[in-house]
Amino acid sequence: MGCTNSISRHINGKKKQLHVPEVAIFVPTLRIPKEIDFQRALQGTVTPKLVEKLSSLRSQIVLIAEGGCLKFSRPTNNIPVLEGGSSLSDLQRALEEYLPVVLGLTRKDYNLVGMVNFKWIRQDNQQETSIESTWYELLSVLHLMAMVSLSQANQILIPEDPIDASERKVSEGCKTRGIDLLLLAAGYLEFCVRCIYIHMPLEVKKRLPRDLHEDALEATSLQALAQGIEMQLGFALESEKATLSVKRRLACEQVEYLAKGYCCLPSCNFVERYERKHLLFIKWKYLEAKAAAYFYHGLILGKGGEAVDHMNAVKCLLAADELLVDSKKACLSFCVTAPVTRASPLWGAMKHLHHKIPEVALKKSQMYDHLFNSNKFFPQALPELPEFPLSLKPDSYEFPSTDSSWENGLCDLKVQTLKEHLKDCEDSDLE
């Protein structure tokens, strides 16, 4: 499934190979910080030492992000790296070191939350957004941390030395690490919605770029949880102890996560290419998940003893087959929508289901073909999928403690009372 690794383009009469990136986990958009002048913004209010610390830590993030352009080369030893040579772990570490220090600007008693004009730029279209709000900065930092986690998950699920698609395998360790990273990313995004948005004034929210809107963050979080469920379904398929009911439940939960994520996106009024691509990705995975859910639902219904049970089972299996065909079309639409990408070769749960669904649907429909000719047993409607409580939750995240450098980080400014000021004026007049 998907496109080839590279495509050819003729430039000035020469044939040049263009790399088409592979997508296992979709990363909706990347926003990186631009250099700002803390000294000018905080002069006279924060000590030079603390200003230097803020500047140094943020500049380190800018250097790593811009130096590697957040474009990824082939991972080495399962460590995703930026083209500039730094690992994604270096960027994550720099963001984590910066957070406790910049968090001090949000303290109400300091009254510094709107003192600095923070600047971030979208990598795909170079659109810059500058807002005088530390809460915007914290939202942007956590959003980038989430995108880095999704990027890490994507990279470790892509083998260092890709081989024939029919032989694509992902190790158990990589899948476990991938799930951990997906839950981590979902936790960052869930925290943004739950704990950062409540501090933002309405005028700041109105100036946020679309990819930082609340619905966009929720859609990405739900997408991450859904892909985590997909890998759990893969584990269930490899386990002899996992029943059909367990597999059906996992598939149904994935459908629910993706349905909710899909519903979030239209309210964001997305029009740009990454937003369209994100919507197509969720649609593709939704159709795949629904095919899996109907497949397992059909197998369970087929265990009933009545003729109507078998007919309902066949209806579900045929629906699963149709949904699988639709998912392949949705995958192609996703791949060819700019920026052009290629889907990972089939592996895990989807590799198994792409083989089993058409095979079982054909076999069962032929087996019970005689019942289709009888109105007595033919079900008029497709059986509904059962609903289950959603079991996979984002990792819990909380802000770190404010850096200790803020204990003596404010300048010692002498503030006069009105009485003292009038007395000084009187003394000056007497002189």
Domain of residue 77, residue span? 24-212+405-431
Is the residue at 298 inside a domain? yes
Alpha helices (runs of H) in 28-115, residue ranges in sequence order: 38-42, 48-68, 88-102
Please state, for a pLDDT cut of 70, what percent of the chain lies above it. 80
Please check whether residue 19 lies inside any domain of the structure.
no
Backbone φ, ψ for residue 385 (5° rounding):
-75, 145
Mode of pairing for the β-strands spanning 342-343 and 31-33: unpaired
Give the model's confidence band at 416: pLDDT under 50 very low, under 70 low, under 90 confident, else very high. very low
Q: Does some domain include residue 225?
A: no
- Judgement on whether residues 177 and 122 belong to the same structural domain of the protein: yes
Backbone phi, psi, residue 150, to 5°: -65, -40
The reply to whether 276 and 363 lie within a common domain is yes
Task: Let me know if residue 200 belongs to a domain.
Answer: yes
For residues 251 and 183, membership in a common domain is answered with no
Across 49-63, 207-221, 369-383, least confident range? 369-383
What is the rounded average pLDDT for all residues in the chain? 85
Report whether pLDDT(163) > 90.
no
Same domain for 374 and 423: no
Pick 372 or 315 by higher pLDDT: 315
Grouping H, G, I as helix, E, B as strand and the rest as coil, residue 175 is helix
pLDDT in tens, 303-318: 988 878 888 899 999 9
| Count of domains forming the chain | 2
Q: Are residues 355 and 412 in the same domain?
A: no
Give me the DSSP letters along 137-162.
HHHHHHHHHHHHHHHHHHHHTS-SS-
| Residue 196 and residue 49 share a domain | yes
Residues 57, 175: one domain?
yes
The average pLDDT across 64-76 equals: 61
Query: Which has the higher per-residue pLDDT, 88 or 80?
Result: 88
Residue 18 lies in a domain: no
Which residue would you say has higher pLDDT here, 36 or 371? 36
Burial class (CB in 10 A: 0-12, 13-18, 19+), 226: buried
Q: Which neighbouring-strand residues pair with 73?
A: 81
The pLDDT-based confidence of 427 (bands split at 50, 70, 90) is low
Please give the structure tokens belonging to residue 355: 């083989």
Residue in 109, 71, 81 with CA at minimum distance from that of residue 410: 109
Note the pLDDT tens digit of each residue in 229-262.
999 999 999 999 999 999 999 999 999 999 999 9
Q: Considering only 9-18, 183-192, 244-253, 295-304, which range has the smallest mean pLDDT?
A: 9-18
Do residue 67 and residue 199 come from a single domain? yes
Buried b (16+ CB within 10 A) or exposed e, 314-353: bbbbbbbbebbebbeebbbebbebeeebbbbbbbbbbbbb
Residue 192 falls within a domain, yes or no?
yes
The answer to whether residue 90 sits within a structural domain is yes
50 and 103 within one domain: yes
pLDDT at 339 over 90: no
pLDDT above 50: residue 85? no
Are residues 44 and 411 in contact, defined by beta-carbon separation less than 8 angstroms?
A: yes
Number of CB atoms found within 10 A of residue 109's CB:
6
Q: Pick the more confident residue, 145 or 44.
A: 145
Residues 194, 116, single domain; the answer is: yes
Rounded Cα distance, 127 and 415, in Å: 42
| CATH code, domain with 331 | 1.25.40.280
Q: Let me know if residue 17 belongs to a domain.
A: no
- Token pair 């995975």 is found at 285
- The owner of tokens 């990347």 is 30
How would residue 404 be classed by pLDDT, with cut points 50, 70 and 90? very high
pLDDT given at position 306: 83
Taking the mean position of all CA atoms in its chain, how far away is CA 53? Answer: 30
Same domain for 201 and 286, yes or no, is no
Q: Do 161 and 268 belong to one domain?
A: no
Question: pLDDT at residue 268 above 60?
Answer: no
> At 414, is the pLDDT very low, low, confident or very high (cuts 50, 70, 90)?
very low
